[in-house]
Amino acid sequence: MSEKNKIGWNFDNSYSNLPKSFIYEISPVPVKQPELVILNYDLADKMGLDFSNIDKEELAKIFSGNSLPKGTKSIAQAYAGHQFGHFTMLGDGRAVLLGEHISKNNQRLDVQFKGSGQTPFSRNGDGRAALGPMLREYLISEAMHSLNIPTTRSLAVVKTGENVIREKPLQGAVLTRVASSHIRVGTFQFIRTRENLDELNTLVNYTINRHYPEISKSKNNAYDLLSKLIDKQIELVVNWMRVGFIHGVMNTDNMAISGETIDYGPCAFMDNYDPGTCFSSIDHMGRYAYGNQPAITKWNLARFAECLLTLINPKKDDALKIATELIDKFDKIYEKKWFDMMKNKLGLIGDDKEDNLLIFELLEIMKKQELDYTNTFLFLMDQEIDDKKNCQNEKFDIWKVKWQKRLTKDSKKLMKVNNPLIIPRNHNVENVLKSAENNDLTPFNDLLQALKNPYTNQKVLTKYQSPPPKSDKKYQTFCGT
């Protein structure tokens, strides 16, 4: 038995069997000198993979694409997307899907390389990725998983031994990403542009069979698929809002039909509470700011609905009316789930007519007093935090008295499972990435370890809980391409 077979790979590649318009068969471009940086043994175990007897040199070859596991059928996926509101044809410009691994729990999981070289969709790009952004995606995606937020995950990062040229030469790297699938709203937009009803039906049926088999016998499966995705995306974004996560690039090609968070480019976490918080260097108008994420989600879902109109009803006007009525339910559903989430964060059990006012009063105080979003809730949970003096003032105290009247004996329990004690704070992330780029992975691994149990008290937490030092310089995140 070969070393790769001992690992336990079990590929069954259904997406590559779709019509040729969906895919382009291509292999990862080999790299000069692969070197393993990190391997996610916890995720590997869940996938039914065993790398314990494989040396680092062989692992580096596997996760760089220099030596592909048996059973892979590597492809670049075609898709389109609205990027900052403007429609464009896209596709995997620096990614290659190796195939679908069937885990020991019978889960079908995409295994994809990111930074694996040029494809027909590269649009003059080099198809490569830098070490920093790939480690950022590894760190943040694993943190999101531990925060109980649906997400793609990261299996490995390998250095390529080659530089990539951005503003300056940077170390090249390949990330291995694992996802329920990489089908996006943009995938449907691409197929819609082809005006081929058979292909659209194929994609709808494939997506339902893969992600939502419970609606496979529906009388109107396109309508039910839209309805499912509305619920999934609302739950996802409410979770983002719960922990102060800002995706940063919510283009339609970055909305996964599975309901998982996908693409950790210019993502960041909010420090001081402000709905207008936006860190992305390419988001000049704040389109994807923290407080805009629900509205953008609804906008993206409307674009998805447009792709399905013909299947929802053959009569154009009727289809538009039906889809619009469904999309218009978004606000009410989101509002209810968001209020429930905020009540959970505040330990408000049961219903009280003053709860909504209580929530908005706190958020207004937090914004005006520039209070740290995460640490304000920790202060209310009686956690020791460095910046607690910021929450000790007359206006906050008056609000706190009203809040305390609503608490029950189970309130703190509820708060503990909804308020993380630690998030990947931006300044901490930048510090560990800088060390990693200088070949010191210890700070990265320390932070990664702390983020594995974000709802549990750990001795190491205090050094990661403080907001960033005051600075006149605005923090910015970058796309990484």
- The full set of domain ranges for the chain reads 3-179, 184-419, 426-465
Among the listed residues 110, 126, 253, 283, the single catalytic one is 253
Q: Which residue has the tokens 């509205």?
A: 295
Alpha-carbon gap, residue 454 to 181, rounded angstroms:
26
Q: Which residue has the tokens 């914004």?
A: 367
pLDDT at 124: 85
Q: Residue length, the chain?
A: 481
DSSP 54: S
Judge contact between 438 and 400, C-beta under 8 A.
no
pLDDT at 202: 97
Alpha-carbon gap, residue 413 to 410, rounded angstroms:
5
**Among 304, 226, 269, 241, which residue's Cα sits nearest to residue 422?**
269
The SS3 call for residue 398 is helix
Task: Using CA atoms of 286, 288, 293, 298 in order, give the dihedral in degrees to the nearest 10.
Answer: 110
pLDDT at 481: 60
- CA-based angle 77:80:86, to the nearest 5? 155
Element (DSSP H or E) covering residue 257: none
Element (DSSP H or E) covering residue 446: helix 442-451
**Among 144, 95, 115, which residue's Cα sits nearest to residue 429?**
144
Provide the b/e sequence for 60-96 (b: ≥16 CB within 10 Å): bbbbbbbebbebbbbbbbbbbbbbeeeeeebbbbbbb
Q: Is 92 a catalytic residue?
A: no
pTM: 0.96
Alpha-carbon gap, residue 454 to 480, rounded angstroms:
26
Mean pLDDT by 10 residues, the chain (481 residues): 73 95 95 97 97 96 96 96 92 96 96 96 92 97 98 98 91 98 98 95 98 96 98 98 97 98 96 95 91 98 98 96 98 98 97 95 97 96 86 94 96 97 96 96 96 89 87 80 60
Alpha-carbon gap, residue 229 to 208, rounded angstroms:
11
Alpha-carbon gap, residue 212 to 166, rounded angstroms:
41
φ, ψ at 178 (rounded to 5°): -115, 130
Instruction: For 154-209, give the DSSP string.
Output: EEEEEEEEEEEESSSEEEEEEEEEEES---BHHHHHHHHHTT-HHHHHHHHHHHHH
Alpha-carbon gap, residue 385 to 422, rounded angstroms:
11
- Crossing angle of helices 293-312 and 316-327, in 10° steps, is 150
Judge contact between 415 and 377, C-beta under 8 A.
yes
pLDDT digits (tens, 9 = 90+) for 404-413: 999 999 999 9
Alpha-carbon gap, residue 119 to 442, rounded angstroms:
34
Judge contact between 455 and 374, C-beta under 8 A.
no
pLDDT at 480: 67
